[in-house]
Structure 1
Amino acid sequence: MKYTIVIQWSEEDDCYVVLLPDFTNIMQPCTHGETYEEALKNAQEVLEMLIETYLADDEPLPEPKTLGKSLEVA
């Protein structure tokens, strides 16, 4: 499954914060990083842990949200 990862710079926290909007039952933002690359690595680790936990608990994984049509470039 392909889940959305949102990475945004936070002036307040002075780092990149990560949101996983498909997982509505966890605290958001769910991780962070000093660099964009570190935030992405941490996001992937959290996502893997969440999926493992859902599967271990026999809970259904959330359905990934998708954009409607693909954007067309003129």
Structure 2
Amino acid sequence: MKTKTLTAILHKEEDMYVAECPEVGTVDQGETIEEALANLKEATRLYLEECPLLDTDTSPRFVTSIEVSYA
């Protein structure tokens, strides 16, 4: 069994949290952040069982925020 560290990006849409793994392209949702992450983890695990990543397919990504001023 392989273990990879992947990125999870979360945002809220109305009353649900949406979680996305950009390295793989999986997306899932939940009523809480914890539920969204658990669902994303399961969706990503199932995806990788069918479509394994090559060792060169992923590199760590860092997510941060930026502040932009505009007119």
Is TM more than 0.5 here?
A: yes
In 2 relative to 1, CA 38–67 (structure 1 residues): closer, same or farther, beyond 3 Å?
A: closer
% identity of equivalent residues:
30
List gaps (5 residues or longer) in structure 2.
63-71
TM-score by length of 2: 0.66
The 3-state SS of whatever aligns with 1:65 is coil
Moved over 4 A (4+): none
Deviation at 1:67, TM superposition (A): 4.1
Please give the alpha-carbon distance, in whole angstroms, between the structure 1 residues aligned to 2:22 and 2:61.
13
Q: What RMSD over aligned residues (CA atoms) do the two structures have, in Å? A: 2.0
TM-score by length of 1: 0.63
Q: How many residues are paired up?
A: 57
The structure whose residues are more often strand, as a share, is 2
List gaps (5 residues or longer) in structure 1.
56-60, 69-74
